[in-house]
Structures are given as structure tokens and as C-alpha cells.
Amino acid sequence: TLGFIVTPMQQATTWVKSGVRNTFGYFSDNQKIRQQNEAYENELAALQNENFALKQMDVENKRLRQMLDFKRTNAQFELVGANVIAKDSSNWFQKFTIDKGTNDGLTKDCAVINHQVLVGSIYDIGLNYAMVSAIIDDSSAVSALVVRTKDVTMLKGDLTLQKQGLCKLTYIPRDADIIPGDVLETSGLGGRFPKGLLIGRIKEIGKENAEYYNFAQVEPAVDFKRIEEVFIIKNSPQVVKQ
């Protein structure tokens, strides 16, 4: 009988007690949650930064691995890696400076490449630097071979095309069966560039009425706006002679 009377009272008291506890607990828990939230936000920011750095390292790792694989599969070339440290002071030229020079065994006219793609050649050199003229520069000229048709032509830089990152293929015979999309590589003629280095693709073909030869716009395989690292073929004149 006593239990019959006391039990509801105990229930009511417990109900009141839990209500009060929950109310006070709400405020103290709120502060704890806020602190926890701040800690999680800081941890998230740190992890996001770390993730970004890791992604950058992954991209660089892939790029360097490609360059290393290229070096291994082209053992006949003595390759020296270099960084691009400066561009030409003028907007008219497509030339840049690298951080290797005669101290590293380089000489004038050495071919400069990037993942087996021709970039240009050294036109001036110092002890610890060299100046490279890109193939899209107005002063550049490379003997090029159309891979599909075996036509030998001349690739030149052009002032009206270099801003778009393009260059001009000249001395295309009128009867040559060249079409947009044809791949170009170095022919090895001229004594400066080894044979077989990829240059780019033909983008558009043009005809000049007064000229015997046709010409074409060429899109190089290398993006000159984003070039950061290159390889120099130290022994390119010797390789050409072979």
C-alpha cells in the first residue's frame, strides 16, 4: 500500500529532476559543442591544406616520373634537366632563360626538349645560365618531317602566330598530300636537332597564289605558356651526326 502511494511521487520527482538536469545540461553542453566544433573546424582546415599540398606533390611526382622515364628510354641522349627562370624582357620574342650553362657541359645550339617534344635551342650561354629560343619565336627555323607523308619542310616562327602559341610550316610542295592533324617531327637535317623529336600537329593549311609552295599553321605539342622544366640534349650535335 505504501509503495502504491510513494511510487507516483518518486516518478514525479524523477521527472522534475531530469527536466532541471536537461535544462542546465543544455547550456553546459552548448559550450562544449561549440568548443568541439571549433576544434573540428581547425582540424578540417589543416587537413584541407595538407590535402592540397599532397595533390600538388602528386602532380609534380607524375611530371618528374615522366621525365625520368623519358631519360631511361632515350639512353643515346645525354640529358641535363633545367628550370625556366626568366622570360624575355620584351613581348615581341618567345625566348626564355634556364638555370644551367657551360658549367653543366652545355653548348650553344643544344636542342631543348620537354617529354620528347621539341621546345627550342640554346642561342646564348653563360657559366650558369643559357638562353633558349622557342620554336614559335620569329627567329627560329627547324627542319620538319611530316610523319605520314615523309615530306621534308621548314618550320618557322611567325610574329602573327606566336601570340596564339602557333608557328608556320613553309616550303610545303603544292602536290604534297598533307592534311590537318598530320604529325610533325624533326627530320635530323641541318645538323642541329636529332631526328624523331615530336614537334606538333598541323592545324590549318593555306595556299598563297603567288607562291610556289603552300604553308600551314602548326600547333606545337608543348604549351609554351606553362613551361617550367626542360631537358637539354647535351650531345645533340654528335647524335645528329650519327
Residues of this chain that interact with another protein (CB under 8 A) are 85-93, 95, 97, 123-124, 131, 138, 159-160, 163, 225
Between 48 and 103, CB nearer to another protein: 103
Distance CA 151, CA 96 (A): 31
Q: How far is the CB of 163 from another protein (least distance, A)?
A: 5
Of the two residues 89 and 242, which places its CB atom closer to another protein in the complex? 89
Nearer to another protein, 137 or 185 (CB): 137
Give long-range contacts, CB 8 A cutoff, 24+ apart: 209-213.
212/174, 213/170, 213/171, 213/172, 213/173, 213/174
Whole-number Å distance between alpha carbons of 173 and 166: 21
How far, in Å, CA of 215 to CA of 22, rounded? 84
Half-sphere exposure of 5 (CA within 13 A, CB side): 2
**Min dist. Cβ of residue 223 to another protein (A):** 12
Q: How far is the CB of 198 from another protein (least distance, A)?
A: 23
Closest approach, Cβ 224 to another protein, in A, equals 9
CB of 90 to another protein, least distance (A): 7
- Cβ closest to another protein, residue 78 vs residue 109: 109
Is residue 156 within 8 A of residue 170, CB to CB? The reply is yes
Q: How far is CA 177 from CA 72, 103, 148, 205, 236, in A?
A: 36, 46, 9, 11, 31
Nearer to another protein, 123 or 213 (CB): 123
Which residue is it, cell 516518478?
Answer: 11
